[in-house]
Structure 1
C-alpha cells in the first residue's frame, strides 16, 4: 500500500474573501462570567485547533447558498451556545473564565476558483492553499480577549463548499466541538433548537476540596529530551499521510497471538505505530520510551457527564518502558502496555489528575521522549450535515505541533482513492527516520491473510 499522496500538491487557486465579520447570537443572551473547569484551564491547552470539512455539490440544494444558510444558523445556534460568543478573561490567581459578552464569533465568506474534484479522489492533509481556506485574521488568534471560534465558509466552483473552523482548545475538545457543529447543522437544516441541549456545568471537572492526589501521574515528570528524539522544525521534516484500512489492520492483527484475545483497533494501531516510530528514531536503548494518548472520560466518570457537556473531558493515558524493551520485544508487549494505560484511567484517576493539575499550578504535560496520539477518527466530524449531506472529508486542517520538540499524531477518519473507509495518520519525522519508519511498516504489513504479499508503503514527497 502506498503512502497517501498529498491532495493535489501542485494545485494553486485563488480565494476571494469578504471582510471578516462578527456573527452574534440572534437573540439577547445573558451577560455573565462562566469559569472554565480545572480540566479546561491548563497551559497545555493554550493553542488553536484548525479543522476543515469538504462538501460536494448537492442537486437537491440548487439555488441555496451555503454561506447565507450557515451564517444565519450560526446566529441561532449561538443563542444556545452563547459562551462561544464571549471572550476569555483571566481572573484572580490566573483562573480563566468566559465573559459572555455576546460579541460573536468571527465569520468569513469566501469564493474559490477551484472544484472539489481538483483536490483528488482521496482528500486529506496536507491541503494546498489551506491558509486561504482558513484565513488567520491578524490579531484574532490569541487566547484571551479574542474570538473563541473563527469560521470560514468557502464556495467552490463546482457548487460544493468548505467549512473551516478554528477552535480555542481551552473551550472544548473534539467531542465537545462536534456537539456544537451538529447543533449548527440541525438548525441549518430547519430545526428550532439542538436535539442535544448544551450543558456548561464546568464545575463537574473541578478539583476536590481539599485536593487529594491519590494516583501516580508520570505525565508531569521532568525529563531531558535526548538529542536522538528531538524533532526538527516542520520545514526540516518529511510529512506523510498513511492510510490504514481493513487490509492493513488485518495484517497487523495477524502478528498478535490468538490466545491474547481481542484488542481494539485503537490499541492495535497505536502499539504498532509507537514501536515502528521508536525504531525509526533509533534512540539509545536505555532511554525511556513514552506513549501519551487522550482518553475520553465522559463515560468513565461516576456518574457520567451529561450528554450535552461540551467542555474538555479527557484524561491523559501514559505508558512507559525503555527503548530497548519496546523495540526488541514482539508487538504484543507494546499492546499490553497500551491496554494497561487505558485501564488505569478510572474515575479516581481522573479526579486525582485534576487535583494534581491544581496543586502544581496547572503544569504542562511532559511530552519529552513521547509518542503523542489524539484519536479523532470516531468523533463524527465527517457526519456533520448542514443540509448538503455528510462531508467528503472532516478533520484536521493542518499538520501542526503543540510543542517544537514533539508533534501530536492524529487519527482521522478517511477514505482512500478506492473508496475504502479507514484511518488516516499524518506523520512528521526527519527524512532519514521517515525512510526507516516506512521500512519498518512494510516489514510487518507485507503478509496478508491469504499468504500473499501486500502492496507496500512508498515514500512520496508531500
Structure 2
C-alpha cells in the first residue's frame, strides 16, 4: 500500500446558500424517533473525475441547484434549538447552508481513500458549526472534484439524506424531482393509551440509566476509520454459506453481519461478550406509506454472544441469530411500541443500549447499518457519476460502526466504511484481509494524473 502523502487545502470562499424562494418560518417538532438520536453529524462525500463540464462553473451549478432544492427540503436550511423542556426542535427559518469552496494541491489518485482520517475527514469534509447541513466543494490539482456534506443526524437518517442528494443532483440537471419529501410527523404520533412490548426495554434505555463504559474514553481515542471494498463474488460466497447453501435463504446484509460478528468476536478471550446490532429502517413496516417521509425511522436491535459461543458456531447458526433479532424488530408493532416507549420517558433522552456496551475490558460491540440504498449512480450533477463515494460516521459511541454500500463502479462490489477500535481493525485485516480489501487508486482505475 502506498504511504501517506501530505497535502494542503486552501479555502477560497465561505458562503451561505439559502432557499431560492421565501420560506415561512415555523417550528417543526422532532418525532419521538428523532429524539433517540444524540447530537451527532454524519458525513458523505463523492469524488468526480475531471471532465470538460467540471471546468465550467461547477460551483455555480452546485450552489444554484442547492438553493432550488432547499425550497422542498427546507429543514436542511434551518436550525436545531432546545425547547423549554430541553428537547431539540427544528426551526425552519431559512438560515441557510454554509458552503465552503476550496482548492487542494494533490490529484484524486493521490488521496488515500482507504484511510479517510488522513485523506478526507480533516481536510475535505466540512466541520459543521451552525445550522443543519454544510457543504464543501474542493477542486483538486488534477481538476477532479470532491463534494462533501455534513448533516445533523437528529434531522435526517441516511434514507432521508439520500432523497435530498438525488433531488439536488436532479435540480443540477434541470429535471423534476423524482420524490418530494413529506414532514408529516403525525405518522409517528404516540398512541393513547400507549403500549410497548417489554423487549424494547432490552434494546433502549434512558441516557441517565446507562452505566459509564469501562476505560471511559479509551475506545474513542483508539477508534480509527477505514474504507474497504468487498468483491461481488465474496459477498455471494458468504451469503451462500450463511444460507446453508439455499436451505434457508439469508439476505446479503444478514450474511455479512454474521461473518463480521464471527471475525471480530471469535478472537476474543474466553468470557468476553460480543454484541452485534443492525440498524433497521421502519418505513416498509408501517401500514401507511412512508416512502418519502423525511426524518428518522430507525431502530437498533442487537444480540450478545460470548466469544467461545461464536467460536463454536457455524456461520449458518450465527446467521440464524442475526435473522432472529432483526425479524423481531422489523414490524409495525415494534416501531409503534418504540414511539410509545419514548413518549413514556420524555423529556429524558434515551439511547440504544448497544451504544453503551463494549469498548472496555469485557468485550466488544458493533453496529451494522445498511447503505445499500445509497444512490451513487444518481449523484450526477451534470458532469457524470462519481468514481467513488462513501458515508463517514465517526460517532462517539463506545460501539463500533460498519456501513456497507454499493460501489460506484456498479459491478456488484460493496464499499464498506468502518469505524472501529484500532485493535479490531487489525483483527479485521489479519483474519479477513482476503475479504476486506483496501480501496486504492488502482482499484478505482485512477492514474497518476487524475
Partner of 1:371: 366
Q: Deviations over 1:177-208 (max 9, x none)?
A: 011111111111113x5231121112312322
Q: 2:288 aligns with which of 287, 303, 312?
A: 303
Distance in 1 of aligned mates of 2:438 and 2:92: 49
1:184 aligns with 2:168: yes
Stretch moving more, 164-173 or 407-416? 407-416
Q: 1:32 aligns with which of 26, 36, 39?
A: 26
Q: Deviations over 1:51-98 (max 9, x none)?
A: 111111223x26422111101111111111122211112223233322
Q: Deviations over 1:389-428 (max 9, x none)?
A: 211122224x62332x222122233369x97722424253
Q: For residues 246-395 of structure 1, what are the structure 2 equivalents within 5 Å? A: 246-253=232-239, 255-256=241-242, 257-258=244-245, 260-282=247-269, 284=271, 287=273, 289-305=274-290, 307-344=291-328, 345-360=330-345, 361-367=348-354, 368-369=357-358, 370-381=365-376, 383-395=378-390
Give the C-alpha shift of residue 438 in structure 1.
4.2
Distance in 2 of aligned mates of 1:62 and 1:238: 33
Distance 1:415 1:384, change over 3 A: closer
Partner of 2:157: 173
Partner of 2:8: 14
1:58 aligns with 2:43: no
Q: Deviations over 1:357-401 (max 9, x none)?
A: 22123312112143211121332245311111211122224x623
Give the C-alpha shift of residue 128 in structure 1.
1.6
Q: Does the 8 Å contact 1:66/1:161 carry over to 2?
A: no
* TM score, norm. by length of structure 2: 0.84
Q: For 2:93, what is the secondary structure of its paired residue?
A: coil
Distance 1:362 1:211, change over 3 A: farther
Q: 2:405 aligns with which of 396, 412, 416?
A: 412
Give the C-alpha shift of residue 240 in structure 1.
4.6
Distance in 2 of aligned mates of 1:197 and 1:98: 19
Q: Does the 8 Å contact 2:223/2:420 carry over to 1?
A: yes
Instruction: Count matched residues.
Output: 423
1:422 aligns with 2:414: yes
Q: 1:152 aligns with which of 136, 141, 144?
A: 136
Distance 1:303 1:161, change over 3 A: same
* TM score, norm. by length of structure 1: 0.82
Distance in 1 of aligned mates of 2:378 and 2:323: 28
Distance in 2 of aligned mates of 1:63 and 1:238: 35
Partner of 2:41: 48
Distance in 2 of aligned mates of 1:79 and 1:86: 11
Partner of 1:74: 66
Give the C-alpha shift of residue 266 in structure 1.
0.4
Partner of 1:450: none
Structure 2: any 5+ residue segments left out of the alignment?
Answer: 359-364, 440-450
Q: For 1:73, what is the secondary structure of its paired residue?
A: helix
Stretch moving more, 156-165 or 206-215? 206-215
Partner of 2:448: none
Give the C-alpha shift of residue 131 in structure 1.
1.9
- Aligned-residue Cα RMSD (Å) equals 3.0
Distance in 2 of aligned mates of 1:277 and 1:155: 38
Distance in 2 of aligned mates of 1:258 and 1:266: 16
Distance 1:309 1:9, change over 3 A: farther
1:133 aligns with 2:124: yes
Stretch moving more, 345-354 or 369-378? 369-378
Distance 1:124 1:239, change over 3 A: closer
Distance in 1 of aligned mates of 2:123 and 2:432: 34
Q: For 2:45, what is the secondary structure of its paired residue?
A: strand
Q: For 1:20, what is the secondary structure of its paired residue?
A: strand
